[in-house]
């Protein structure tokens, strides 16, 4: 059975895809998402074989979803209303896409291409080509002012809290989750450490190890350990073993 996730911010578009995919006996829709952030969470949770991914969405668009997922991508079928000129970029990189409004036969063709990919994954270059497309878009895009997270939403039951990034002491990786440490509070959210780090101001946050990102202003001192390793001591006494270079940290701390 082929597991699929549908991502589109338009409910009617998701419904149409859901209806047409129901005709494919070997396709199981395991999740739907109406925005890019929910799409990343759905892919991390369900590990689908294929994602039918809209490009134009508010906040985090389809390309942003792919950037956050990184190299661990499932098969991707773009669903887009881009004009034919823009679609040429997909063709160059041999990516499949559905140009809205698409016909049922075109969707069936895309599903068949996914079947062929899953049957011979070692020979399929689509992940590398998607990443190449993202790099090309980054290179050609005009420079824009970086926007860094100022708050992180945390769901508790049916409530949503907004934690200021300035209130964070450090962030700890826990599989596909991260734990936000803010004073005496702990908040767990479904997010990878790498994806969250990419949206934090690098002038204020730094990765100290594979599993820890720290607010630079919270570091009190660094102490040596054995074999040239070091441990960062935060102002509240928390000790974080470092696997990143001490010199880099020293340079960053000069400009706080």
- Candidate ranges 24-28, 200-204, 221-225, 240-244; pick with highest mean pLDDT: 24-28
Average pLDDT over every residue of 34-49: 91
Domain ranges of the chain: 2-140, 155-253
Using pLDDT thresholds of 50, 70 and 90, give the confidence band for residue 94. very low
CATH architecture of 155-253: Beta Barrel (2.40)
> Taking 50 as the threshold, does the pLDDT of residue 255 lie above it?
yes
Of the candidates 138, 136, 130, 18, the one whose C-alpha atom is nearest the C-alpha of residue 77 is: 130
Average pLDDT over every residue of 31-39: 91
Q: Which tokens is 34 given?
A: 């109406």
pLDDT digits (tens, 9 = 90+) for 4-34: 999 998 888 999 999 999 999 999 999 999 9
The three state secondary structure string of the chain is CEEEEEECCCHHHHHHHHHHHCCCCCEEEEEEECCHHHHHHHHHHHCCCEEEEECCCCCCCHHHHHHHHCCCCCEEEEEECCCHHHHHHHHHCCCEEEECCCCHHHHHHHHHHHHHHHHCHHHCCHHHHHHHHHHHHHHHCCCCCCCCCCEEEEEECCEEEEEEHHHCCEEEEECCEEEEEECCEEEEEECCHHHHHCCCCCCCEEEEECCEEEEHHHEEEEEECCCCCEEEEECCCCEEEECCCHHHHHHHHCCC
Average pLDDT over every residue of 66-75: 79
Domain 2-140 has CATH 3.40.190.10: no
Mean model confidence pLDDT for the chain: 83
């Amino acid at each position: 059975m082929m597991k699929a996730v549908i991502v589109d911010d338009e409910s009617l578009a998701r419904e149409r895809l859901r209806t047409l995919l129901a005709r494919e006996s070997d396709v199981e829709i395991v999740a739907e998402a109406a925005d890019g952030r929910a799409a990343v969470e759905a892919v991390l949770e369900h590990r689908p074989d294929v994602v039918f991914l809209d490009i134009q969405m508010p906040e985090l668009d389809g390309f942003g979803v792919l950037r956050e997922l990184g190299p661990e991508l499932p098969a991707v079928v773009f669903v887009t209303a881009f004009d034919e000129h823009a679609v040429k970029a997909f063709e160059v990189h041999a990516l499949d896409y559905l140009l809205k409004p698409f016909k049922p036969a075109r969707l069936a063709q895309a599903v068949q291409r996914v079947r062929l990919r899953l049957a011979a994954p070692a020979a399929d270059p689509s992940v590398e080509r998607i990443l190449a497309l993202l790099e090309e878009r980054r290179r050609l895009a005009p420079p824009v002012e970086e926007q860094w997270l100022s708050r992180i939403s945390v769901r508790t039951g049916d409530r949503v809290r907004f934690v200021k990034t300035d209130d964070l002491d450090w962030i700890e990786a826990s599989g596909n989750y991260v734990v936000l440490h803010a004073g005496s509070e702990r908040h767990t959210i479904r997010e990878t450490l790498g994806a969250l780090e990419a949206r934090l101001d690098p002038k204020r946050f730094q990765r100290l190890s594979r599993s820890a990102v720290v607010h630079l202003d919270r570091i009190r001192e660094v102490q040596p350990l054995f074999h040239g390793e070091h441990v960062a001591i935060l102002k509240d006494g928390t000790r974080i073993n470092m696997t990143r270079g001490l010199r880099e940290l020293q340079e960053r701390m000069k400009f706080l």
